[in-house]
Structure formats: structure tokens, C-alpha cells
Amino acid sequence: MFNRPLPMLWLLAILIMLPLSVSAQSHGLKKIQVGVPAVSMGNMIIFFTKEAKLFQKHGLDAEVVVMSGSGIASRALVAGSVQISPIATPSAMNAVLAGSDMVILGHTMPGVVQALMVRPDIKRDEDLKGKIIGVTTFGSLTDFLVRHLAKKKGLNPDKDFALLQVGGDADRLIALRQGKIPAAALGHPALVLAQRAGFHMLWDFFKEVDYPWSELATTRAQIKQDRDLILRYMRAHIEGIARFKQDPEFAKKVIKKTLRLDDDPLAQESWELFAKHRLAAPYPNIKGMKTSYEYVAMTRPEVWKHKPEEFVDGSFVEELDKSGFIKKLYEK
């Protein structure tokens, strides 16, 4: 006789809990997976933004997923495993030409801070012939930079030297030091550590390649599905850039933690370099995409039929710029 009231008790319990559940959900954070092609200074703003809890500030529960190179990150983005990621412009363009709906939201650096570091006996471009050059992965930014500049210097990247997939900056630096490879494309601060170990810079990609860097990309399907999610991310990332510039001590702490770097002067140099060049309003760099066109055209000549605007969506940065959001970040 005591069994009959139980359904009513359960119903009352559910009704009591329902407003609490709805309320909790409405105040919850949106989940987002952020792809990172490499643990490097180029992608440091993502790690910095998470450490500074800026993703949470803008209503996001961000999971940072580290991968090896833009090629892999590009495939993860297209597959929906991540919702946003820095993808090298040529990789993004190739993905679009292959039928994906990937789109570049902005370029956060005016140039790429990387260099080709080589053994002391390699003094001229011609000395690279017959050698092995370490890159992250095929289709990655390092692969693109080496191939592009080699061609500009009269070398054939498919015949004059061999490219070897080695992994991240740390892996390539170790391979250099151990004599497994005579040359490698390295970012900062790995290139400085290579110099300290006796290697020298043969090519400076920042000076020699007109290439807007540190891109942010997503898919048009993701934007259509949840534009607010991407806008929240862009707010957090752009505020991360501002905070990185304004808080050197915290920035250096994150740099040392992320790169496992126990070198204060090197952390200081890294912060100064990237704080100086990070763009406050990272619009897609339409003009600077010409370099990527030339590279992509080597395998996909149909790229010349497409306008740069087809590969980008600057509306997010434009919205945050025109609304005064970016300006307020730099007001004292």
C-alpha cells in the first residue's frame, strides 16, 4: 500500500530539480576543442589564454589538443575533431581546393619567426645539395617554408635535398645536436639554442618570406552551426594577445612552463620578440597570401582561379574591432 505514492514523489523531485538544471546549463561554459599544430612560440597565445583563464572569462571550456603539424591539424579540423586551430595558409587553401569548407579567420603575425639552422660546414645555399633537412611533417608550415624559399633560391626541393619528418622544434633540435640531420627549420627559441650549440642561420624566414603567420582557422559549417562559439573564441584569443603584450612576467612564466624552458634571458627575448610583432587586430592578410598562392599552385594550379577572399572570413575580427572591444583592451 506504500508503493503507489512513489511515482508522484519522483515527479515532484524532478520538477524541483528541473529549474536548477536549466539554470546551471544556462550559466555553463561552452565546450570547444582547440587544435595546436605544434608547441611553439607561434602558438603560445593559445596556451597563454588558457593559463590566464580568458577562455573561461568568455564562456568557454577550452580543451587544447596538441598535434604534429598543420597537415594533421587541418584534417582534424575538417573531421570536426577540433573546432578551431592555427592552420598554415597553404594547408587551408589546399583543403578548400580539395572540397572542404575551411576558412581563415585572421593572421596574428606579419611574418613567421623561423629559420633554417645548419651545421657550420654548410655556408651557401648550394651546400644543401644532397643533405637532409628536418621539418615537422609534410604539409606543415616548416615544410612549406623550406620548399618555397628553396625554389626562390634556385634549388629544387624534390631533387637537391631530402626532407625528413622529425616532429616538433624540440625533436628537430635534438636531431641536430645528435648529428642525425645537418639542417632543420626551427622556430624561436629553438633557433637560439641551436646557435648556442654551434649551428648557424642560413635562411631567415621572417626576413626572406613575405608570409602572414599564426593563422586561425575554422570551418564554415562550424560558423553556421554555432557562430557564437567562434566569436567567443576570437574574443578570448584577441584579449590573450593584449594581455600577453601587457603582462611580461606572467607571459614569461607561461613561456617557460609551456616550452619547458629554464632560461630567464631566453624567455625574456622570446616575449620581447613576439609581444612586439603580435597584431592587436589580426585581420586576414589578403595581400600577404600571394606567397601561399605561388606555393599551392605547384600542385594545384587551379588556385589562381580563386580570389583570396574565398579562403577567409574577416567578419569576426571586424566585429570586435568596430565594436570597440579591441580598443578597450589597450586603454589604460
- Say if residues 185 and 133 touch (Cβ distance below 8 Å): yes
Per the domain annotation, does 241 fall within a domain?
Answer: yes
Cα–Cα distance measured from residue 54 to residue 44, given in angstroms and rounded to the nearest whole number? 14
Can you give the residue range of the structural domain that contains 181?
114-208
Domain boundary pick from 208, 231, 259: 208
Cα–Cα distance measured from residue 244 to residue 128, given in angstroms and rounded to the nearest whole number? 38
Query: DSSP for 82-106?
Result: -SBB---HHHHHHHHHTT--EEEEE
Query: What's this model's pTM, rounded to 2 decimal places?
Result: 0.86
Q: Are 190 and 221 within one domain?
A: no
CA-based Rg of the chain, rounded to a whole angstrom? 23
CATH of the domain at 123: 3.40.190.10
Per the domain annotation, does 269 fall within a domain?
Answer: yes
pLDDT of res. 280? 98
Q: Are 195 and 272 within one domain?
A: no
Q: Are 204 and 272 within one domain?
A: no
- Say if residues 332 and 242 touch (Cβ distance below 8 Å): no
Domain boundary pick from 179, 208, 237: 208
Per the domain annotation, does 12 fall within a domain?
Answer: no
Cβ count near 17 (within 10 Å):
10
Q: Are 156 and 223 within one domain?
A: no
The tally of domains found in the chain comes to 2
Q: Which residues of 271-294 are buried (b: 16+ CB within 10 A; e: fewer)?
A: bebbeeebbebbbbbbebbebbbe
pLDDT of res. 27? 58
Per the domain annotation, does 140 fall within a domain?
Answer: yes
pLDDT of res. 20? 38
Domain boundary pick from 183, 208, 233: 208
In sign, the C-alpha dihedral spanning 160, 40, 311, 75 is positive
Q: Are 217 and 320 within one domain?
A: yes
Q: Are 104 and 193 within one domain?
A: no
pLDDT of res. 14? 36
pLDDT of res. 69? 85
Q: Are 288 and 148 within one domain?
A: no
Q: What is the pLDDT along the chain (332 residues), one digit of tens a residue?
A: 334 343 433 333 333 344 433 333 335 899 999 999 999 999 999 999 999 999 999 999 999 999 988 889 999 999 999 999 999 999 999 999 999 999 999 999 999 999 999 999 999 999 999 999 999 989 888 999 999 999 999 999 999 999 999 988 999 999 999 999 999 999 999 999 999 999 999 999 999 998 999 999 999 999 999 999 999 999 999 999 999 999 999 999 999 999 999 999 999 999 999 999 999 999 999 999 988 998 899 889 999 999 999 999 999 999 999 999 999 999 97
- Say if residues 32 and 64 touch (Cβ distance below 8 Å): no
Per the domain annotation, does 20 fall within a domain?
Answer: no
Q: Are 148 and 263 within one domain?
A: no
Per the domain annotation, does 66 fall within a domain?
Answer: yes
Per the domain annotation, does 10 fall within a domain?
Answer: no
Per the domain annotation, does 9 fall within a domain?
Answer: no
Q: Are 323 and 217 within one domain?
A: yes
Cell numbers standing for residue 295:
606555393
